[in-house]
């Protein structure tokens, strides 16, 4: 943000910019809300402008944005666990599933209950957090990669349970006919993408502010200390287990939150929506976006989702319309995986810190080479104590 | 990687490691057999001839589990070796196994167009023992060499540049490589099953009530041989020592003159070769190979490696057999639907009580 | 960043050529319309759906390209893939249906393949009044009110827009059960299903009929399509001495693998499966007979279609001429769906004023319960829920001489 742009507009403008920047930095929550509001207003406008309007109409774009928003929420949640606290979670979709099924139990013809949406948002988050604690309590003391396999295992177990426990979950058919959100004064029709879009913008903003607040608080600094050097953090009196458990629970609750919204929008929950490939996708979004950086992760999720769902699928249509000689005959649909895999590998080779790394992460990455790891660990420790 | 014997004072030297392992192995198998018999009997005590039936069927199930375990163990070894040396969870390893299976298929039948003149164009089993042995050995060598090289290449281009990146980065790369391998295979052979000619004739040998296929015995013996060979290599040769040293402390090993790049490359080579051998087994035993074999196999192998203590060779082998035993047990009592889930529940329970895995060592956090 | 630049250049390129491809009037027709196709097209699902896409395009070609005064096109932009990460994904399916519904030129959609995707798509297409014909969904809950179908067509419960040309599971499963009990005269069975909607659904229906009519299920297992090792399962099954095996699933779920393992273990009993294994002769790539080889000598398959009808041979020949392979999987039913759409279009096309009017007219004409359709899978009508009236189940057995399925008989389950 600084640097080259700082001098545009002359001295008067520069001082205005620096004043704005000061205000933004002191009132970060407000900045986030304002920024999300701007994004929320800009995206629909962007969807009506070529080249986006050529790909698909605005309605469809908005629907896509809402779905992308779910993954933004998921990436933000996983970021707490992986990016902020440094815990490797390979089965994050399990909590997504738990939140979604919780809403299905609370608001569908299957269960016969119709609880209000906003209450279910909190309940879903809470249920997911509970499972996060149940899983985390016995396992968070495991070494990093052992925790990874445990979370991976949990991510496998949960869909299998939902699949096989038919009497309670309708098994492979899933629970359908789930009621849409019932927020007063807003009508959530199935063909109308605007209310869902607005709702997801609000939810993302809320979660971002919440995470930002956490990050800057003592807990956030404790997470940072654990991430940098767990042994040192522990020997300074930090209760590593509780701190890690909190990260786990909060990450799980965010996934539960997203699950409730997703279930309400899709009107169906079924086990095949929550397989381990989803967990890997979200992990890729967090890493590619820039672990630790809230905006980076959100943007990474948005970009990857749009590429996976819009771009890669439309390549056939796109090259066909352009009548590009060789490319138009290739059936890109079957190469989707190959291209996605290549993209992942290339991204990691050329920019392993992600598209928008947090400044801290960048320092870590390059400090590791130069042996300054200890210096930054000590600095983190200082910050967590004060 | 192997447990050091330095803790035992010279006066109390126990039996050699291999013998101890073999004894515990036999004990384990017998216990498992008893469990199976009990479980089978008690799920259906009123059936006619229930007890005899249980005895026979359980013997069969034990042989099933041993072959499956051999395959899992070989793949798990590759996983654990790579993890031990550079702390990478190599998600692409399962797909290396899958490609190995296809390489053996291509070698035995024909390579995909336009190279389809290559390959032995076999269609069924081979009767003459000498020819059979030669072809089998050739298939193994081809698959192992090819997959070893593929693995080394992957390491060179996808993982080496990321050696100093945060731990999550090579993980993502591994996922990417896995997708690439799967998709390439899918484009070449399509999405359906491919039949593999089963070279070993369908002779069955009766043993304690079980009808054991000849190929099962071959697989089990070859796998044990490979594992023994690996153990020998790691503990006695210079390169093996270099690997162990690098696994323990990379910087110190380098200071002692170990060529890091070479050592890591050799690790990937051996891991890939083992996965390739496992791939040959897969094709020969099941008769079918498919492009999406890799993910599940990799998952189970990773679980096996962790169960046994990741970074520990013996642990990985034992873990592979353990996972197979659990799976077969669940299926034998009619709960096949839950077998995947149960494997993971067992893993979690074991890790809660032994956080470093069965044979793992609690290495202190790197300061 | 790089990708964004590509996207920008791409967008400009499309913008330039977009004008050439608008659905404008051309050469005496009232306009150009699209038939949407919504199927999973990744990984192993593509093997089943590519023949369907081919068949639909063939149907449009066979009709001459202009029906009822409207020119029909199926550009790549309306052939949508609901697979994500290699597997059909309901969320992507919903998104695709939203896209197709808001595309005014789309007057009907053929798809989806999987009942779980249909469950999220029907609310959308129902609200939009868009005709949707599935060539493969068999789950009862999509159309029959007593299985919860009213919950998914909430917006317009009586304005049916979803139809399907395949019989639901509640006929094919029991048909196989009846065959085993009455024709093969066997009393015990071992059931193994693929745990997904189709496999499990049909196995459930099979089991219910089998046990209700005096048979005994010695054991039942669920093995997902990713299973490679069936030896333990089948060893356990063999110890219970079943007289037959019923497989619920499609070939890609492992039908041939299961059969091979069973034979290897010495379980040489009749192997019965649904139309998931009725997918071509031994020469057809990836078909059940191709993979099972000689092991299939004691296999039986049911098909939810009329066994011997004139249309089938013609269709097979035409398909082969156009695409150089045998029509497999659901290609015949996809062709039928296309025939339904084209027939409706022929009837109402001339009187429709614009695409919006046409869409509603096509829907109403297609679901009209008084219309009898003559298609490559025989003739049928739709009932008041959109289900096909054709409840004929055909039985086939493996003929080693021709290395293909041989028709044995058919039963009409219409009650």
Give per-residue pLDDT as tens, C237-246: 998 899 999 9
Are residues B288 and C222, on separate chains, in Cβ contact within 8 Å? no
Q: Token digits for B79?
A: 């996983």
Closest-approach residue (CA) in chain B for A377 = B367
pLDDT at A50 exceeding the cut of 80:
no
Strand partners, C271: C245, C299
Mean pLDDT of A269-292: 88
DSSP B59-109: HHHHHHHHHHHHHHHHHHHHHHHHHHHH----TTHHHHHHHHHHHHHHHHS
What is the ipTM metric for this complex? 0.88
Residue C337: predicted pLDDT: 94
C257 at the B interface (CB within 8 A)?
A: yes
Mapped to the 3 state alphabet, what secondary structure does B198-240 carry?
CCCCCCEEEECCEEEEHHHHHHHHHHHHHHHHHHHHHHHCHHH
Residue A377: predicted pLDDT: 59
Please report, for the domain that includes residue B305, its CATH number: 1.10.3470
What span, in angstroms and rounded, lies between the C-alpha atoms of C283 and C293?
Answer: 10
pLDDT at A350 exceeding the cut of 60:
yes
Closest-approach residue (CA) in chain B for C231 = B64
Candidates C9, C46, C76, C104: best to mutate against A (most CBs of A within 10 A) is C76
pLDDT at A323 exceeding the cut of 80:
no
pLDDT at C413 exceeding the cut of 90:
no
pLDDT at A315 exceeding the cut of 80:
no
| Residue A338 with chain B: CB contacts under 8 Å | 179-180, 183-184, 187
Instruction: Count CA within 13 A, CB hemisphere, residue C284.
Output: 23
Residue A246: predicted pLDDT: 92
C228 at the B interface (CB within 8 A)?
A: yes
| Residue C291 with chain B: CB contacts under 8 Å | 192-193, 195, 288
- pLDDT category of residue C25 using cuts at 50, 70 and 90: very low
B173 at the A interface (CB within 8 A)?
A: yes
Residues 6+ apart with CB under 8 A from A350: none
What span, in angstroms and rounded, lies between the C-alpha atoms of C81 and A314?
Answer: 9
A193 at the C interface (CB within 8 A)?
A: yes
Give per-residue pLDDT as tens, B62-73: 999 999 999 999
Q: Are A156 and A90 in contact (CB under 8 A)?
A: no
What span, in angstroms and rounded, lies between the C-alpha atoms of C11 and C78?
Answer: 18
> Which residue in A67, A190, A321 is closest to C95 by CB distance?
A67
Q: Is C35 helix (H, G, I), strand (E, B) or coil?
A: strand
What span, in angstroms and rounded, lies between the C-alpha atoms of C145 and A250?
Answer: 41
Give per-residue pLDDT as tens, C345-376: 999 989 988 888 999 999 999 999 999 998 88
Closest-approach residue (CA) in chain B for C287 = B192
- pLDDT category of residue A272 using cuts at 50, 70 and 90: confident
* Number of domains making up chain A: 1
Residue A359: predicted pLDDT: 67
What span, in angstroms and rounded, lies between the C-alpha atoms of A152 and A280?
Answer: 10
- The domain in which residue A224 lies consists of 30-369
On whether residue A53 sits in a domain, the answer given is yes
Q: Distance (Å) from the C-alpha of residue C241 to the closest C-alpha of chain B?
A: 11
- Determine what percent of chain C is predicted with pLDDT higher than 90: 45
A195 at the C interface (CB within 8 A)?
A: no
Long-range contacts of range C368-371, CB-CB < 8 Å, 24 or more positions apart? Answer: C371/C343
Residue A15: predicted pLDDT: 78
Give per-residue pLDDT as tens, B25-44: 899 898 898 888 888 888 77
Q: Distance (Å) from the C-alpha of residue C54 to the closest C-alpha of chain B?
A: 17
Of A42-56, A179-193, B235-249, B261-275, which range is least confident?
Answer: A42-56
> Which residue in A287, A342, A369 is closest to B168 by CB distance?
A287
- The domain in which residue B220 lies consists of 15-353
**Dihedral angle, C-alpha A268, A272, A276, A281, nearest 10 °:** -60
SS3 content of chain B, % helix, strand, coil (to 5): 70, 5, 25
Candidates C222, C224, C235: best to mutate against B (most CBs of B within 10 A) is C235
- Determine what percent of chain B is predicted with pLDDT higher than 90: 46
Are residues C251 and B202, on separate chains, in Cβ contact within 8 Å? no
- pLDDT category of residue C112 using cuts at 50, 70 and 90: very high
Q: Are C363 and C357 in contact (CB under 8 A)?
A: no
Are residues C84 and A309, on separate chains, in Cβ contact within 8 Å? yes
B-C CB pairs within 8 A amount to 94
On whether residue A71 sits in a domain, the answer given is yes
Write out residues 78-107 of A within 8 Å (CB-CB) of C.
Answer: none
pLDDT at A321 exceeding the cut of 50:
yes
A-C CB pairs within 8 A amount to 152
B267 at the C interface (CB within 8 A)?
A: no
On whether residue B81 sits in a domain, the answer given is yes
Of A344-358, B20-34, C296-310, which range is least confident?
Answer: C296-310
Mean pLDDT of B196-208: 88
Give whole-number Cα distances, C225 to A287, C93, C248, C257, C299, in Å. 31, 22, 11, 10, 20
Are residues C141 and A273, on separate chains, in Cβ contact within 8 Å? no
| Residue C266 with chain B: CB contacts under 8 Å | 211
Please name which of C362, C385, C359 lies closest in space to residue C128, comparing C-alpha atoms: C359
Residue C378: predicted pLDDT: 81
What secondary structure letter does DSSP report for A6?
G
Are residues A146 and B351, on separate chains, in Cβ contact within 8 Å? yes
pLDDT at A5 exceeding the cut of 70:
no
Q: Token digits for B32?
A: 């498992």
- pLDDT category of residue A54 using cuts at 50, 70 and 90: confident
Closest-approach residue (CA) in chain C for B184 = C43
B176 at the C interface (CB within 8 A)?
A: no
On whether residue B200 sits in a domain, the answer given is yes
- pLDDT category of residue B21 using cuts at 50, 70 and 90: confident
Give per-residue pLDDT as tens, B336-355: 889 889 999 998 888 888 88
* Number of domains making up chain B: 1
Mean pLDDT of chain C: 85
| Residue A195 with chain C: CB contacts under 8 Å | none
Buried b (16+ CB within 10 A) or exposed e, C19-45: eeeebeeeeebbbbbbbbbbbbbbbbb
pLDDT at A193 exceeding the cut of 50:
yes
Are residues C151 and A314, on separate chains, in Cβ contact within 8 Å? no
Are residues A344 and B178, on separate chains, in Cβ contact within 8 Å? no
Closest-approach residue (CA) in chain C for B72 = C229
On whether residue A380 sits in a domain, the answer given is no
On whether residue A385 sits in a domain, the answer given is no
Q: Which is more confidently placed, A145 or B226? A: B226
Q: Are B193 and C286 in contact (CB under 8 A)?
A: yes
Mean pLDDT of A268-284: 90
Write out residues 123-182 of A within 8 Å (CB-CB) of C.
Answer: 163-164, 171-174, 176-177
Of A310-314, B269-273, B293-297, which range is least confident?
Answer: A310-314
Residue C305: predicted pLDDT: 65
Mean pLDDT of chain A: 83
Of B191-195, B264-268, C51-55, which range is least confident?
Answer: B191-195
Q: Is A319 helix (H, G, I), strand (E, B) or coil?
A: helix
pLDDT at C11 exceeding the cut of 50:
no
Buried b (16+ CB within 10 A) or exposed e, B17-47: eeeebeeeeeeeeeebbeebbebbbebbeeb
Residue A347: predicted pLDDT: 85
- pLDDT category of residue A7 using cuts at 50, 70 and 90: low
Give per-residue pLDDT as tens, A107-139: 988 888 899 999 999 999 999 999 999 999 888
Mean pLDDT of C286-301: 90
Residue A9: predicted pLDDT: 58
Which H or E element spans position B352?
Answer: helix B339-353
Q: Token digits for C324?
A: 């150089």
> Which residue in A142, A335, A341 is closest to B351 by CB distance?
A142
What span, in angstroms and rounded, lies between the C-alpha atoms of C121 and B282?
Answer: 40
What span, in angstroms and rounded, lies between the C-alpha atoms of A41 and A300?
Answer: 20
What span, in angstroms and rounded, lies between the C-alpha atoms of C121 and C130?
Answer: 11
Residues 6+ apart with CB under 8 A from C403: C281, C282, C283, C289
- Determine what percent of chain A is predicted with pLDDT higher than 70: 84
Q: Which chains lie within 8 Å of chain A at 3 or more CB pairs, if any?
A: B, C
Q: Distance (Å) from the C-alpha of residue C237 to the closest C-alpha of chain B?
A: 8
Of B105-119, B256-270, C4-18, C205-219, which range is least confident?
Answer: C4-18
Give per-residue pLDDT as tens, C258-281: 999 999 999 999 999 998 888 777
B356 at the A interface (CB within 8 A)?
A: yes
What span, in angstroms and rounded, lies between the C-alpha atoms of A176 and A174?
Answer: 6
Residues 6+ apart with CB under 8 A from A25: A31
pLDDT at B224 exceeding the cut of 50:
yes
Q: Which is more confidently placed, B31 or C8? A: B31
Residue A239: predicted pLDDT: 85
- pLDDT category of residue A327 using cuts at 50, 70 and 90: low
Task: Compute the radius of gyration of chain C from its Cα atoms.
Answer: 22
Question: Which domains are present in chain C?
Answer: 2-167+309-389 (3.40.50.2300), 169-303 (3.40.50.2300)
Residue A240: predicted pLDDT: 84
Are residues B179 and A338, on separate chains, in Cβ contact within 8 Å? yes
Closest-approach residue (CA) in chain C for B294 = C226
Please report, for the domain that includes residue A107, its CATH number: 1.10.3470
| Residue A64 with chain C: CB contacts under 8 Å | 95
Mean pLDDT of B164-188: 88
Candidates C86, C239, C265, C286: best to mutate against B (most CBs of B within 10 A) is C239
pLDDT at B326 exceeding the cut of 90:
yes
Mean pLDDT of B18-29: 86
What span, in angstroms and rounded, lies between the C-alpha atoms of A77 and A73?
Answer: 6
Are residues B183 and A231, on separate chains, in Cβ contact within 8 Å? no
Residue A170: predicted pLDDT: 86
Mean pLDDT of B13-24: 80
How far does Cα C145 stand from its chain's mean position?
Answer: 21
Q: Which is more confidently placed, B323 or C115? A: B323
| Residue A303 with chain C: CB contacts under 8 Å | 3
pLDDT at B331 exceeding the cut of 70:
yes
- pLDDT category of residue C14 using cuts at 50, 70 and 90: very low
Mean pLDDT of A227-249: 86
Residue A375: predicted pLDDT: 56
What span, in angstroms and rounded, lies between the C-alpha atoms of C321 and C88?
Answer: 30
């Amino acid at each position: 943000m600084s640097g080259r742009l700082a001098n545009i507009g002359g001295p008067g403008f520069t001082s205005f910019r620096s004043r704005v920047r000061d205000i933004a930095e002191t009132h970060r929550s407000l900045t986030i809300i304002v920024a999300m509001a701007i994004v929320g207003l800009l995206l629909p406008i962007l969807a009506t402008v070529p080249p986006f309007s050529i790909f698909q109409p605005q309605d469809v774009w908005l629907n896509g944005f809402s779905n992308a928003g779910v993954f933004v929420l998921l990436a933000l949640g996983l970021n707490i666990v992986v990016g902020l606290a440094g815990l490797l979670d390979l089965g994050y979709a399990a909590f997504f599933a738990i939140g979604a099924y919780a809403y299905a139990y609370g608001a569908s013809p299957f269960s016969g209950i119709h609880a209000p949406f906003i209450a279910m948002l909190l309940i879903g988050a809470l249920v997911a957090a509970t499972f996060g604690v149940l899983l985390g309590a016995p396992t968070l003391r495991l070494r990093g990669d052992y925790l990874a396999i445990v979370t991976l295992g949990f991510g496998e177990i949960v869909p299998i349970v939902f699949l096989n426990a038919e009497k309670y979950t309708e098994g492979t058919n899933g629970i359908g006919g789930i009621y849409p959100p019932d927020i007063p004064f807003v009508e959530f029709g199935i063909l109308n993408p605007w209310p869902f879009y607005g709702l997801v913008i609000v939810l993302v903003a809320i979660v971002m502010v919440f995470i930002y607040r956490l990050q800057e608080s003592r807990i956030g600094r404790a997470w940072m200390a654990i991430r940098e050097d767990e042994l040192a953090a522990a020997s300074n009196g930090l209760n590593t287990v509780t701190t890690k458990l909190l990260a786990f629970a909060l990450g799980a609750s965010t996934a539960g939150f997203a699950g409730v919204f997703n279930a309400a929008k899709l009107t169906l929950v079924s086990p095949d929506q929550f397989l381990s490939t989803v967990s890997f996708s979200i992990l890729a979004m967090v890493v590619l976006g820039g672990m630790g950086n809230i905006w980076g992760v959100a943007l990474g999720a948005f970009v990857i989702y749009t590429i996976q769902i819009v771009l890669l699928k439309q390549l056939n249509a796109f090259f066909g319309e352009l009548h590009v000689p060789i490319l138009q005959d290739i059936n890109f649909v079957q190469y989707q995986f190959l291209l996605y895999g290549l993209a992942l590998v290339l991204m990691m080779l050329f920019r392993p810190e992600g598209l928008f790394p947090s400044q801290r992460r960048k320092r870590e990455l390059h400090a590791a080479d130069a042996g300054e790891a200890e210096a930054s660990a000590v600095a983190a420790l200082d910050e967590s104590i004060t | 990687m192997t447990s050091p014997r330095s803790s035992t004072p010279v006066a109390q030297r126990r039996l050699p490691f291999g013998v101890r392992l073999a004894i515990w192995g036999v004990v384990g198998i017998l216990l498992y057999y008893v469990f199976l018999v009990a479980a089978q009997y008690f799920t259906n005590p009123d059936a006619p001839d229930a007890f005899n039936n249980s005895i026979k069927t359980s013997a069969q199930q034990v042989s099933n589990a041993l072959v499956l375990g051999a395959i899992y163990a070989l793949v798990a070894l590759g996983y654990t070796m790579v993890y031990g040396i550079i702390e990478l969870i190599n998600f692409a390893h399962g797909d290396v196994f899958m490609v190995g299976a296809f390489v053996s298929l291509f070698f035995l039948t024909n390579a995909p167009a336009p190279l389809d003149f290559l390959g032995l164009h076999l269609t069924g089993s081979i009767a003459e023992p000498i020819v059979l042995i030669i072809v089998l050995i050739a298939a193994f060598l081809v698959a192992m060499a090819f997959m070893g090289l593929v693995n080394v290449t992957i390491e060179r281009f996808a993982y080496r540049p990321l050696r100093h990146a945060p731990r999550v980065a090579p993980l993502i790369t591994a996922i990417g490589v896995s997708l690439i391998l799967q998709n390439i295979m899918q484009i070449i052979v399509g999405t359906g099953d491919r039949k593999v000619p089963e070279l070993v004739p369908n002779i069955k040998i009766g043993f304690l009530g079980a009808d054991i296929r000849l190929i099962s015995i071959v697989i089990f013996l070859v796998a044990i041989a490979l594992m023994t060979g690996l153990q020998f290599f790691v503990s006695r040769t210079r390169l093996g020592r270099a690997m162990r040293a690098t696994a323990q402390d990379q910087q110190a090993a380098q200071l002692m003159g170990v060529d890091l790049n070479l050592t890591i490359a050799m690790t990937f080579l051996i891991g890939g070769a083992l996965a390739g051998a496992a791939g040959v087994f897969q094709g020969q035993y099941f008769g079918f190979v498919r492009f999406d074999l890799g993910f599940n196999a990799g998952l189970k192998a990773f679980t096996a490696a962790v169960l046994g203590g990741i970074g520990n060779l013996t642990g990985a082998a034992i873990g592979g057999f353990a996972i197979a035993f659990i799976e077969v047990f669940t299926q034998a009592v009619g709960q096949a639907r839950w077998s995947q889930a149960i494997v993971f529940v067992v893993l979690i329970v074991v890790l809660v009580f032994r956080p470093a895995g069965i044979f793992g060592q609690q290495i202190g956090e790197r300061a | 960043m790089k990708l964004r630049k590509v996207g920008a250049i791409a967008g400009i390129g499309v913008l330039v050529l977009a004008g050439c491809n608008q659905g404008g009037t051309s050469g005496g027709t009232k306009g150009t319309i699209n038939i949407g196709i919504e199927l999973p097209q990744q990984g192993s699902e593509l093997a089943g759906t590519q023949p369907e896409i081919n068949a639909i395009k063939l149907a449009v070609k066979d009709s001459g390209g202009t029906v009822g005064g409207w020119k029909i096109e199926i550009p790549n932009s309306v052939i949508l893939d609901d697979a994500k990460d290699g597997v059909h994904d309901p969320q992507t399916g919903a998104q695709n249906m939203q896209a197709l519904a808001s595309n005014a030129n789309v007057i009907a959609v053929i798809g989806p393949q999987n009942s779980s995707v249909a469950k999220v798509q029907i609310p959308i297409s129902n609200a939009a009044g868009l005709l949707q014909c599935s060539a493969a969904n068999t789950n009862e809950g999509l159309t029959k009110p007593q299985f919860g179908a009213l919950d998914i067509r909430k917006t317009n419960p009586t304005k049916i827009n979803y139809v399907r040309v395949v019989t639901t599971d509640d006929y094919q499963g029991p048909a196989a059960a009846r065959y085993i009990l009455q024709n093969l005269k066997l009393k015990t069975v071992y059931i193994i299903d693929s745990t997904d909607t189709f496999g499990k659904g049909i196995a459930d229906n099979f089991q219910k009929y089998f046990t209700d009519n005096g048979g005994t299920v010695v054991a039942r297992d669920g093995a997902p399509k990713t299973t490679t090792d069936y030896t333990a399962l089948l060893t356990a099954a063999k110890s219970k001495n079943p007289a037959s095996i019923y497989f619920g699933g499609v070939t890609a779920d492992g039908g041939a693998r299961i059969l091979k393992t069973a034979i290897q273990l010495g379980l040489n009993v009749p192997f019965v499966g649904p139309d998931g294994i009725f997918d071509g002769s031994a020469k057809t790539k990836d078909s059940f007979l191709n993979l099972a080889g000689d092991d299939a000598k004691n296999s039986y398959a049911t098909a939810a279609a009329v066994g011997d009808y004139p249309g089938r041979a013609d269709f097979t020949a035409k398909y082969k001429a156009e695409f150089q392979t045998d029509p497999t999987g659901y290609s015949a039913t996809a062709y039928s769906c296309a025939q339904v759409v084209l027939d409706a279009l022929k009837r109402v096309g001339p009187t429709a004023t614009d695409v919006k009017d046409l869409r509603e007219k096509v829907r109403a004409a297609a679901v009209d319960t008084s219309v009898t359709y003559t298609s490559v899978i025989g003739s049928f009508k739709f009932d008041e829920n959109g289900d096909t009236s054709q409840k004929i189940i055909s039985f086939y057995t493996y003929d080693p001489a021709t290395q293909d399925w041989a028709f044995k008989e058919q039963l009409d389950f219409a009650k």
